[in-house]
């Protein structure tokens, strides 16, 4: 964010892209999404690694009435 403020102070063209990706992950195959972000939009490096770590190796279980369900690996959606 500091780079954006510095560039704006120097009257340079500045672009900040904000994405609300919460709904995008509900039914999209993560591997396809990550590949398209990388190849189609040039997302790489730390940003791509962050998105990949956010999406992959997720699991969940449900607690109800003092009982726990089986642990299930998530392939789609955001926990």
Q: Is the pLDDT of residue 71 over 90?
A: yes
Q: What is the pLDDT of residue 22?
A: 65
Q: What is the pLDDT of residue 46?
A: 93
Q: What is the pLDDT of residue 65?
A: 95
Q: Convert the pLDDT of each residue in 9-47 to its tens digit.
A: 898 888 777 777 666 666 777 888 889 989 998 999 999
Q: What is the pLDDT of residue 25?
A: 62
Domain ranges of the chain: 18-74
75 contacts 26 by C-beta, under 8 angstroms: no
Q: Which of 35, 78, 36, 32 is nearest to 55 (CA)?
A: 78
């Amino acid at each position: 964010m500091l780079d954006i403020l510095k560039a704006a102070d120097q009257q340079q063209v500045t672009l900040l892209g904000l994405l609300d990706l919460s709904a995008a992950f509900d039914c999209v195959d993560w591997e396809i999404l990550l590949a398209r972000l990388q190849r189609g939009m040039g997302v790489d490096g730390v940003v791509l690694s962050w998105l990949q770590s956010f999406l992959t190796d997720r699991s969940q279980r449900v607690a109800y009435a003092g009982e726990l369900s089986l642990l299930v690996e998530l392939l789609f959606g955001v926990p």
